[in-house]
């Protein structure tokens, strides 16, 4: 899954019969800071997303095909959610345990006789 922003629509009068009535959207994948990441994707919209909305996208596999709710639909990418808010908690990495300290070796002093 990935987070993206809908950047456009695609109109296709000639398409696979399983796509009839389905909305095709262009989605720009986003990094966690909201910046564009990678190449835009063509996705089937299963939730009624619109241009400029942030969306949750599934790539390939059974989940993408099931989003269209049609068996054996040739789908690689599908929009499965509209994102209202992202709460990101940035935490510091846990503290490292103190390094094992080697105790200085005790040396015996030999008495000079």
Output the domain CATH number for residue 28.
Answer: 2.40.50.220
57 by Cβ neighbours in 10 Å (0-12 / 13-18 / 19+) ranks as: buried
Considering the domain boundaries, does residue 22 fall inside one? Answer: yes
> What domain range is 43 assigned to?
2-82
Considering the domain boundaries, does residue 96 fall inside one? Answer: no
pLDDT of residue 111: 63
pTM across the whole model: 0.68
pLDDT of residue 56: 93
Q: Which residues contact 12 (CB under 8 A, 6 or more apart)?
A: 19, 24
pLDDT of residue 44: 86
As for how many domains the chain has, the answer is 1
Residuewise pLDDT in 10s, the chain (113 residues): 899 999 999 887 777 666 667 788 999 999 988 899 999 998 988 889 999 999 999 887 665 556 555 555 566 788 989 999 988 777 666 666 666 666 666 666 666 55
The CA dihedral of 27, 77, 47, 17, to the nearest 10 degrees, is 120
pLDDT of residue 99: 66
């Amino acid at each position: 899954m990935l987070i993206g922003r809908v950047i456009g629509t695609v109109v296709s009068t000639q398409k696979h019969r399983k796509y009839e009535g389905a909305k095709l959207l262009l989605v720009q994948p986003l990094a966690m800071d909201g910046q564009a990441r990678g190449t835009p994707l063509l996705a089937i919209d299963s939730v009624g997303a619109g241009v400029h909305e942030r969306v949750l996208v599934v790539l390939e596999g059974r989940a993408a095909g099931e989003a269209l709710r049609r068996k054996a639909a040739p789908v690689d990418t599908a929009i499965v959610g509209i994102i209202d808010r992202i709460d990101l908690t940035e935490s510091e990495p846990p503290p490292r345990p103190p390094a094992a300290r080697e105790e200085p070796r005790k040396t015996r002093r030999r008495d000079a006789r």
